[in-house]
Amino acid sequence: MKNTKIFIFLLFYLKIFTLHAQEVKKIELLNADFIDYDEQLLGKEIKRLTGNVAFKHDNAVLKCDSAYFNSLRNNVVMYSHVHINFGDTIDLWGDSIRYYGNTKIAQVRNNVKLKNKNAILTTDSMNYDRNLNMGYYFNWGKIKDGDNSLVSKWGYYFALLKDFVAVKNVILTNPKYHMYSDSLRYNIQTELTSFYGPSKIVGDSNLIYCENGWYNTKTEISQFNKNAYLISKAQTIKADSLYYDRNKGYGKAYKNVEIIDTSANIILLGNFGYYYESPEQAMLTDSAVFINFNNNDSLFLHADTLRTNTLTDSIGIYKLTKAYNHVKLFKTDMQGSCDSLTYSFRDSIIKLFNMPVMWSEVHQLTAKIIEIHTKNNEADYIVLQDAAFIISQEDTIRFNQIKGKNMIGYIKDKELMRIEVDGNGESVYFPKDNNELIGANKAESSKMTIYLDEGKVSKILFLTKPTAVLHPIDELPATDLLLANFHWYKQIRPMKKEDIFSK
């Protein structure tokens, strides 16, 4: 049921305040310039009063230009400049009012206005129950409270609680935004608005939707629950629950968090996060995932913590994503593992730090730092800085290896095509003749360029004086053909996007 919480609130209020019903008091006539007794026209019980008419009933003062007063039935019908004052804070006006002393209910019609301190409610028809200190309208009404203006088809005003409950086609207008809701509750003292149905807040810089939550129009702090999302100029944030401070442009998100940045083709997922609107930045933890999406092949990345920042330099504005602890990434043409990572959208470079490992098709790449330079969302070339090592498996016991101080691996059509080694170059590969291994080639050269064809070494250019030996295939055991610091990390390679969560 859409308005269950509203109805529970109303029932609770009615139950509490009807327990305090008081004894019936008679309406007291205070003044009238003229009193007309016309038994034939009005009957014995009714008096027609005109001119400065005033009544008193249980601390309420009722005034009008003319009235029909039935003292026996304890009710009065008042016309023209009708005004009722309930104590120090509440005033009620209308073109006509039927007031029933026994039930303490006022039926106010046409040009109705209720004022409680700074809040003014206007409508065409209202009933006011003094037992409950509650006014309710049923044919459109508007409440004005400072900068806030609220309109709804029907509504209830609870004077003691300072609560206004609006139901159906609700619109709250503020200089900074407009709220649209199925039903809400607004407190004129705290300026707290509570939502109990599908609600939308539209401002100059963002749009917010939820189906339950609250918004403090005084402090501009809010919380949105149930199918909540916030859309700003560059990003959309979704979560089970959103906390938002409009003045600071700051928010927190809880459970099933999704941040979508269409300008950079980024999706961030997690179960907790925070974000700032200006400059745009966000942090995600708890099953955090970064997705760089495109139609052909998306990049999926998981880490304990993800951060995105908007930075500015001499070139312009760009995004920078940072990933910390237990980082794994998956893309169909490359995969990776490390303990920290950065992705700069200024130059489209992904950097892996702290024991990084990359896989490109059949090749495993390691170094102290790995840089993946991308172009059109595809890997263009890979830079291996310090202790560079590239390995591919020849068979169950043998491995092709390239080692050096620094390397650059060039990629074409998602395959590693050429490798440039700079400093302390070493290589081991297994040439074939008619698909038969003919030996193990071990070579050393401070600089070399290696060409690959379908993942296999097709040619090596030694740019400085090399030493190279072709060993017969059975001359050396396979373990003697492993270069120093050889490590094979097949067991941690993510083979599908779901594997980014594996440790």
Identify the top-confidence range among 16-25, 374-383, 488-497.
488-497
Cβ atoms 194, 184 nearer than 8 A: yes
Cα(304)–Cα(323) distance, rounded to whole angstroms? 8
35 versus 12: which is more confidently predicted? Answer: 35
Main-chain dihedrals φ then ψ at residue 329, nearest 5 degrees: -135, 150
Average pLDDT of 470-480? Answer: 84
Per-residue pLDDT at 6 exceeds 80 = no
Share of the chain above pLDDT 70, in %: 95
Q: Is residue 72 part of a domain?
A: yes
Q: What is the pLDDT of residue 4?
A: 54
**Whole-model pTM?**
0.81
466 occurs within a structural domain: yes
Tallying the residues shown for the chain, one arrives at 503
Q: Look at residue 260 and tell me whether its pLDDT is greater than 80.
A: yes
92 belongs to a structural domain: yes
Residue 434 pLDDT: 83
The lowest-confidence range among 266-270, 329-333, 381-385, 459-463 is 459-463
Number of Cβ within 10 Å of residue 449's Cβ equals: 17
* Token representation of residue 476: 């050396």
Q: Which residues pair with 96 in a beta bridge?
A: 79, 109
User: Residue 403 burial (CB < 10 Å; 0-12/13-18/19+)?
Assistant: buried
9 part of a folded domain: no
Q: Report the mean per-residue pLDDT for the chain.
A: 90
Would you say residue 231 lies in a domain? no
Share of the chain above pLDDT 90, in %: 64
At 372, list the tokens: 């993946």
* pLDDT value, residue 1: 44
* Contact (CB, 8 A) for 403 and 389: yes
Which residues form the domain of 321? 301-503
Tell whether the model's pLDDT for residue 7 goes beyond 60. Answer: no
Domain boundary among 92, 115, 130: 130
Instruction: Give 34-70 pLDDT, tens digit per residue.
Output: 998 877 666 678 999 999 999 999 999 999 999 999 9
Structure tokens at 357: 């490992």
Return d(Cα 164, Cα 191) in angstroms, integer.
10
Residue 2 falls inside a structural domain: no
Question: Which structure tokens are listed for 387?
Answer: 């202790």
pLDDT digit string (tens) for 91-129?
999 999 999 999 999 999 999 999 988 889 999 999 999
The domain total for the chain is: 2
Q: Select from 330, 367, 334 the least CA-distant residue to 352.
A: 367
Q: Answer whether residue 408 is part of any domain.
A: yes
* Per-residue pLDDT at 466 exceeds 70: yes
8 Å CB contact between 242 and 210: yes
- 464 token code pair: 């400085």
What is the sign of the dihedral through the CA atoms of 249, 254, 260 and 261?
Answer: positive
Among candidates 303, 295, 304, 297, which has minimal Cα distance to 334?
Answer: 297
Q: How far apart are CA 198 and CA 2, in angstroms?
A: 9
Q: Which of 77, 99, 130 is the last residue of a domain?
A: 130
Domain final position from 130, 149, 180: 130
Does residue 419 contact residue 412 with C-beta atoms inside 8 Å?
A: no
| Predicted pLDDT of residue 5 | 54
Question: What is the CATH number for 498?
Answer: 2.60.450.10
CA atoms within 13 A of residue 480's CA, in its CB half-sphere = 10
User: Tell me, what's the pLDDT at 257?
Assistant: 96
Q: pLDDT digit string (tens) for 171-222?
A: 999 898 999 998 999 998 899 999 888 999 998 888 999 999 999 988 999 9
Residue 430 backbone phi and psi in degrees, to 5: -120, 95
Q: In this structure, is residue 7 part of a structural domain? A: no
- Residue 19 confidence (pLDDT): 47
Could you read off the pLDDT of 403-421 as tens digits, one per residue?
999 999 999 988 899 999 9
> Hey, what long-range contacts does 446-453 have (CB within 8 A, 24 or more apart)?
446/422, 447/421, 447/422, 447/423, 448/404, 448/420, 448/421, 449/418, 449/419, 449/420, 449/421, 450/402, 450/418, 450/419, 450/421, 451/417, 451/418, 452/415, 452/416, 452/417, 452/418, 452/419
For residue 130, pLDDT over 70 is answered with yes
